[in-house]
């Protein structure tokens, strides 16, 4: 029997009890509820007296309707009072009849006052608040980590640019050093060539000096011979003069004996003349020889002067080459020292940059590892959330079955349906005054009407359902937060069973449409079929879970929006939540080759 209020009940109750703070505080105040309950009972008593006195059928029916409405309101107030005083009643029963209390303790433990439920609700809110604060803290930590990661990426980019520039500078320095080395090598080759030429020139100078010394020696010898010849000529001239003097003297001495000795003198004169002629011839020969020697000496002197000039020229060129070579050596050494210093400085800077780059790469690796762990944790949380949703679905179905069987599921965070209320004649007579005993009073199914197994099952089911409901609320909040983060980031959010950046289902936060993207190794993204709505995706996911529970890992469900009929060719979703195009070749559905 369905319990409902008459259409005119609202005006009577509102007139009798105007809105107060109680309407804004569903928990209520016990004193206010007690006052309203007493006022309602007095009003019911007045209506009962009025019904007895009234003779007009229509007016009497109107009063009966008012009485019925007030009885319902009084019943609700009474139940509310009893719910608030349930702990006091338990204590009174435990003190007055301990044995009965112990026997029915399991039933009494399942009955809780609104204060208890408010406390539990407050604790749940506190836990949810802590969970939200913790998630906010993790979000802030994640944002800070991402900002640090971006900062490190920028620093790594700058370091890579610096390393590239350093490497380029090092290459240029090596090229310049190679050029300097080539110049130095060329200069060294030229120096070696000039050294060889100088050696040849030195050898020529030495040979010329030897020739000059020989010529000088020969000249001195010739001069000595010339002096000897001159002395000999002078001696011969002196002897010739003496001979003339002797002849004249002989002529004078032998004048007296001229006739006698005429023949002898003529012979002597002839001999002397012959000697004179021979001496003159010898002197002419010596003069000719002396002139020849003088000419040869002049020639040798001229040649010696030429050689001296050549020697002076070669010596000047040799000194000039030595000066140029010294300058080249000094320039080469200076350039080599400068290039060596620059190379050492570049190598030191490169080593320092390499150390900084290695440190930054280590930090990047650590951050990437942290991000991978965070991704794995999120994937585990998504998997746990999917399991929770599946368990909630199972429990909801089981709860529906219990409701159909008439089993009361107790206190949940939702309003009770009207179909779950049972009515029993005269059940509230002992609780209320006799003035309302003539009315059919509503009463929930009592605890004593359940068996122990049903009570245990009821308690377990309700507790588990409450836990799953709270987990579902947490999952919804987490899902909404993740959706907001992905929306702010401007990317699509990977749904359950899909790792971010891999093939699977993705939700577009702006349009609330779900896409199935295939991510290739080249990084190209392509949509396999037309987008579907989020409601279609959830219905498909629920259908897949039910089929997996019945059929196992080989379960398949058609993807909505693709005109796929079960058993025919089309797009299907497998137990791993991966979509493919299946064809029916007569032996069942199989993935199309090349799809």
Question: How would DSSP label each residue in 182-235?
Answer: HHHHHHHHHHHHHHHHHHHHHHHHHHHHHHHHHHHHHHHHHHHHHHHHHHHHHH
Q: Scan for tokens 């009463």, then name that residue.
A: 443
| Mean pLDDT value across residues 451-480 | 74
What is the domain partition of the chain in residue ranges?
171-374, 491-595
Highest mean pLDDT (candidates 42-56, 173-187, 365-379): 42-56
Q: At residue 514, what are phi and psi to the nearest 5 degrees?
A: -110, 130
Does position 584 have pLDDT exceeding 70, yes or no? Answer: yes
Instruction: Kindly report, residue by residue over 296-347, the tens digit of the pLDDT.
Output: 777 777 777 787 777 777 778 767 777 776 777 777 777 777 777 777 777 7
**390-421: pLDDT as tens digits:** 777 777 777 676 666 655 444 444 433 333 33
Residue 356 pLDDT level (bands cut at 50, 70, 90): low
Q: Which of 8-17, 112-121, 131-140 is predicted least confidently? A: 8-17
- Distances in Å between the Cα of 479 and the Cα atoms of 377, 382, 472, 475, 486 are 14, 9, 10, 6, 11
Calpha distance 544→390 (Å, rounded): 11
pLDDT digit string, tens, across residues 131-183: 888 888 888 888 888 888 878 778 777 777 777 777 777 777 777 766 666 66
Q: What is the pTM of this model?
A: 0.26
Burial bucket for residue 64 (CB in 10 Å: 0-12, 13-18, 19+): middle
pLDDT at residue number 314: 73
Most confident segment among 6-10, 102-106, 526-530 = 102-106
Q: Cα dist. 107→103, 111, 135, 459 in Å?
A: 9, 7, 39, 10
**What proportion of the chain, given as a percentage, has pLDDT over 70?**
70
Of 215-229, 257-271, 352-366, highest mean pLDDT:
215-229
The band of 430, judged by pLDDT with boundaries at 50, 70 and 90, is: very low
Full DSSP string of 502-551: SSEEEEETTTTEEEEEEE-TTS-EEESS--EEHHHHHHHHHHHHHHHHHH
d(CA 374, CA 353): 31
d(C-alpha 352, C-alpha 159), whole Å: 11
In the chain, the N- to C-terminal Cα span, in Å, equals 59
- CA dist 125 and 271 (Å) reads 171
Q: Stretch 518-528: mean pLDDT, rounded? A: 78
Residue 76 pLDDT exceeds 80? yes
What pLDDT is recorded for position 27?
44
- What is the band of 438 on the pLDDT scale with cuts at 50, 70, 90? very low
Separation CA 516–CA 524 (nearest Å)? 14
d(CA 512, CA 493): 11
180 or 502, which is more confident = 502
């Amino acid at each position: 029997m369905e319990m409902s209020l008459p259409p005119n009940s609202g005006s009577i109750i509102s007139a009798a009890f105007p809105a107060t703070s109680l309407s804004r505080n569903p928990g209520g105040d016990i004193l206010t509820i007690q006052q309203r309950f007493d006022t309602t009972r007095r009003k019911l008593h007045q209506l009962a007296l009025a019904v007895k006195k009234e003779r007009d059928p229509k007016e009497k029916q109107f009063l009966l309707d008012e009485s019925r409405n007030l009885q319902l309101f009084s019943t609700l107030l009474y139940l509310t009072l009893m719910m608030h005083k349930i702990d006091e009643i338990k204590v009174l029963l435990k003190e007055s009849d301990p044995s009965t209390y112990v026997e029915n303790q399991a039933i009494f433990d399942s009955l809780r006052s609104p204060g208890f439920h408010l406390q539990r609700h407050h604790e749940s809110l506190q836990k949810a608040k802590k969970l939200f604060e913790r998630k906010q803290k993790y979000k802030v930590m994640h944002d800070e980590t991402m900002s640090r990661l971006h900062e490190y990426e920028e620093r790594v980019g700058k370091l890579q640019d610096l390393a590239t520039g350093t490497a380029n500078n090092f290459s240029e320095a090596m090229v310049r050093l190679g050029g300097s080395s080539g110049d130095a090598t060329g200069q060294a080759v030229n120096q070696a060539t000039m050294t060889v030429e100088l050696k040849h020139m030195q050898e020529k100078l030495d040979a010329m000096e030897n020739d000059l010394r020989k010529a000088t020696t020969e000249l001195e010898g010739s001069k000595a011979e010339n002096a000897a010849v001159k002395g000999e000529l002078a001696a011969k001239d002196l002897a010739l003069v003496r001979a003339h003097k002797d002849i004249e003297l002989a002529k004078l001495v032998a004048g007296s004996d001229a006739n006698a000795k005429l023949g002898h003198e003529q012979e002597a004169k002839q001999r002397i003349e012959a000697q004179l002629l021979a001496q003159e011839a010898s002197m002419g020969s010596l003069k000719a020889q002396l002139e020849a020697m003088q000419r040869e000496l002049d020639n040798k002197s001229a040649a010696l002067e030429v050689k001296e000039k050549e020697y002076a020229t070669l010596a000047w060129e040799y000194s000039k080459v030595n000066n140029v070579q010294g300058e080249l050596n000094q320039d080469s050494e200076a350039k080599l020292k400068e290039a060596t210093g620059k190379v050492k400085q570049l190598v030191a800077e490169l080593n320092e940059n390499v150390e900084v780059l290695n440190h930054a790469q280590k930090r990047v690796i650590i951050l990437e590892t942290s991000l991978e762990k965070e991704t794995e944790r999120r994937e585990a949380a998504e998997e746990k959330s999917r399991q929770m949703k599946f368990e909630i679905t199972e429990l909801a179905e089981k709860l529906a079955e219990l409701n159909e069987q008439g089993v009361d599921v107790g206190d949940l965070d939702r309003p009770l349906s009207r179909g779950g209320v049972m009515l029993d004649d005269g059940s509230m007579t002992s609780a209320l005054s006799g003035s309302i005993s003539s009315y059919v009073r509503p009463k929930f199914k009592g605890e004593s009407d359940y068996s122990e197994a049903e009570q245990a099952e009821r308690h377990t089911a309700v507790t588990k359902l409450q836990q799953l409901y709270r987990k579902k609320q947490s999952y919804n909040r987490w899902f909404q937060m993740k959706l907001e983060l992905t929306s702010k980031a401007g990317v699509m959010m990977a749904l359950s069973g899909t790792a971010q950046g891999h093939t699977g289902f993705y939700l577009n936060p702006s349009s609330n449409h779900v896409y199935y993207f295939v991510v290739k190794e080249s990084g190209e993204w392509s949509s396999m079929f037309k987008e579907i709505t989020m409601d279609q995706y959830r219905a498909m996911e629920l259908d897949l879970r039910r089929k997996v529970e019945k059929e196992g890992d080989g379960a398949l469900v058609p993807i909505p929006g693709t005109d796929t009929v079960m058993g025919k060719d089309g797009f299907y979703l497998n137990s791993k939540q991966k979509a493919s195009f299946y064809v029916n070749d007569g032996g069942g559905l199989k993935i199309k080759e090349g799809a």
